[in-house]
Amino acid sequence: MNIIKGNVTTPKGFSASGVHAGLKKLKKDMAVIKSEKLCSAAGCFTTNIVKAAPVVYDMKTVKNPIMGVVINSGNANACTGEQGLKDVEKTAGIMAELCGCESENILVASTGVIGVNMPMGIVEAGVEGCFRELDSDFESGEAAAEAIMTTDTVKKTACVQIDIKGKTVTLAGMAKGSGMINPNMATMLCFITTDAVISSETLQKALSAAVVDSFNMISVDGDMSTNDTVITLANGMAENEEIKADTEEYNKFFKALFYINKTLAVKCAGDGEGATKLIETHVYNAKTKQDARTMARSVVSSNLFKAAIFGSDANWGRALCAMGYSGADFDPYKVSLTFVSENGSIDVMDNGKPIVFDEDIAKKVLTPEKIVVEINAGCGEYEATAWGCDLTYDYVKINGDYRS
């Protein structure tokens, strides 16, 4: 696998754009991704019972061959009733007419404020504006990545290439996500393009598996969104031999797809609203894989622990407490815990017993922008990693006036 500089326009046959349509005051707020050919498609969506209109639409439409995606920020089109669904269908129809395909070949995604109807005049003009700006160059992919941001502070992209029996296959992705992020998908949007030849069924198998240990293992604030969406499009223009499930080529493709998902997921966690630190929690020697995942997610989701990390306070008891109420099966008298960063490491618990440690050294370890929490559950052979961020004063400030 070769990690390269690129974005959603890097795989063959894809173009994109991002424009300011007027859903937000000043920033880019609408994006389009288009393929030259109809694509195999796969998608994973929020598990929230309250689903935004685009999610309801995409969950049905993603089973069809797909040519393009329309994305907007600034308005989630969530909790908007039947009108919301009509607006999604109209948006897809506008894009389909421009692409020369059917509405059923277009996906739609939204992010932003909940409970506000879409201003369709702005949306229609925005789709047309995006279509005029479509290009396959790097800058157009970057513009699209910028246009899907809400409270994000940085664009989030990733790109890799792999060899499939002599053919170069490229995978690339862009994502947005900063707040309302909780395990089992979050208020994040992710769009992955690839020129691989792969069926929708095999692509869905790979994406569903890749999401489990990437986007389903991040948490910023414990709130699960209405709009969470991960879409993957494969147009086959690499002309490789078709990737079949459970083959060596599939395994190679899956590793590349997982890399894209994990890289973008970690970027979302690290860019949490108001965050100053990325928290990576690695639980190992757990009884089951699910126990490891559950404990790791619980630790990065704990507001008390996140606040302690913000203050560079080695309050490891909050991590153990979060493990205890997670529902995972473990023996607290066998747990060991270590904090690690670029400034070194410090053991704070050994086999259920507290370790007397130097507070000054602990503070030094917990000061950098990335903090790793190593937790030995001491009761099995399974491991998992979750990612989150610290909880800061700015998180409240950002969400106290989000609508304004």
For residue 352, the surrounding DSSP H or E stretch is: none
What's the longest Cα–Cα distance across the chain?
A: 69
Whether 187 is catalytic is yes
For the four alpha carbons of 73, 43, 163 and 199, in that order, the dihedral sign comes to negative
Tokens of 45: 């969506």
**β-sheet bridge partners, residue 233:** 41, 193
209 within 8 A of 248, measured Cβ to Cβ = no
Tokens of 347: 């053991």
Residue of 187, 193, 281, 338 marked active site: 187
Query: How many residues can be counted in the chain?
Result: 404
3-state secondary structure 154-218: CCEEEEEEEEECCEEEEEEEEEECCCCCCCCCCCCEEEEEECCCECHHHHHHHHHHHHHCCHHHE
Tokens of 16: 């994109």
Query: How far is it, in rounded angstroms, from Cα 218 to Cα 383?
Result: 16
Query: How far is it, in rounded angstroms, from Cα 287 to Cα 330?
Result: 7
Beta-carbon contacts of residue 121 (< 8 Å; ≥ 6 apart):
none
For the four alpha carbons of 264, 267, 273 and 279, in that order, the dihedral sign comes to positive
DSSP 239: -
- Residue 263's identity, in one-letter code, is T
Instruction: Count other Cβ atoms within 10 Å, centred on residue 62.
Output: 20
For residue 294, the surrounding DSSP H or E stretch is: helix 289-301
For residue 290, the surrounding DSSP H or E stretch is: helix 289-301
Tokens of 154: 């940085």
Tokens of 323: 């493990």
Q: Which residues are catalytic?
A: 187
